[in-house]
Structure 1
């Protein structure tokens, strides 16, 4: 387990979750951290998103997370969220604008805000270098904690990156029912941090889908304590190495979210290549990833390539179907828009029982490509989401 210099973590149960699992988390920085964030594009935004979006460009001293209640679409939700950061600021004797906040859970249910505020003293007592309690406390329907660590040498110094995420359902591009917190001790300037996060998110958290839904509370936050001994990372020096490391952490976390997709049994990697533009490639990949017919076919180990062709065709991108090739698990399935001559359905059906599936779509119409990740759609997904509030 790596330790990020300059930050401590805590996670406790304060009384929100019915199952008495941890539901309140805190990350506290020794000195204000340089920070940046990417937020949900859902137009119904939770107060936690509104508050954090306003404050994220300030030097940040603390992050407080509530899980089990989204604190949105309820009378007084903004005042409740604001009172949480106000209480924490008073306990720490710091400016409220240096505190960011997240919430996740059921929408439309009043948050027992007094339980949250009463839990703050215990949070502060439990602060430590170990992030395990924090990682547990931010989860809701997650089957497991999602953590990724990486250490790399950049600009004559060793830096650490720690990513902690929650998310299992309502997952789609532009962020969806995910909270992701990335901590690094790298010395890096604010402009470089901003650019790196946007680029890393685009090929990771904005390239996954479980069910096509996006939520009201989602955010990806990146904090730098600046306590490593590297020479400062800038756009001109060390950026590519830092970006590569950050992308690795983000993609790994994104895959873990897909693997933990509610009821999911398979991680499906969709590669669209030789498109006219990356935008075209991503739109086609997203359409295939969100197709219930494609996802249920993979759940049933059915190499039903017709469903994939149909999804490609309804993506709204000009294509020539006579040029399309499709491979599944490296095996030819479609050639020039028709079933491949050596397509063996029985053999491929066996291979689709694997937990990881690779679907490659070659449009033969340009040079652009993209990767996208999704899961299968299962009976357990329906069961879980039909009784979520109960």
Structure 2
């Protein structure tokens, strides 16, 4: 069985039969772009590189994300005994999500596209297959090795878009006002000024806000601003970075250990059961907007549940409880992090929803504003 059969099966799985994306999915060799990848294990990450061709094709042509870099460690350069620890820094995003982001862009075959987050090059390849000419695509990634490897693999697939290395939040390798669509598969704290500069009038961007699952679409206005909305859909991506890895956070690791072990300055009983915030997408997104930078840990031993929160300003919280009982909450530092979480949950219970979904988005070169009714927040 050739790879084509696997690609066709994947296309049938993630598109409807009349979709204009079915052809690109069925004719793009994902295995070419992802020869090796990392899988999380109990001992950090382990290299996954199936020697059996059939097994490799089955694993590659699935609708799942395949992590290809952990910190500065590229799977292409790894040995079987390597077990890096750290955060993923690049992946081949699950194909259905790649297609969904392009759908939100209202991409037309005649459009010029700026693709942020080249990664393996697979998403860039899909866009090249969709558009009338691969030269309509400019793809950018901060990692020079990823750019070089993606450029080579795109060439093997017969595709020759422009692929450049650089910080996508800074100057971009396009003529100002020349880009019809920007699709970003990395998240940003706010919309960079260079994206507005790159878009033509009426051009559309699609991205996500860092630390959240908020998917934003917006179109450029004649005055150089952009307006749009937070879609009801959800997506989550790695945040933009300026180097081969994210900055280390030893202070937060130490603070989480403190939260795990010590008594707080404040000890109270929380009004709501413990929640694993990282798995509660809307709750996590709203808290990340109102109090960015909080890290969470959650673990359960039988019915005993523990949730930890920490922030680089020195604040931390620990909540413990049996099952769905009201938790005992320890807090310390300049802010009461668990109280901030409870405020968001109280708003949710009072109003039946959180205001951020469906919010209007107002973008200028200095800030991004989300607003819905009387609620608003500025991302600067």
Q: Does the alignment reach a TM-score above 0.5?
A: no
TM-score by length of structure 1 reads: 0.30
Relative contact order (C-alpha < 8 Å, sep 6+): which is higher?
Answer: 1
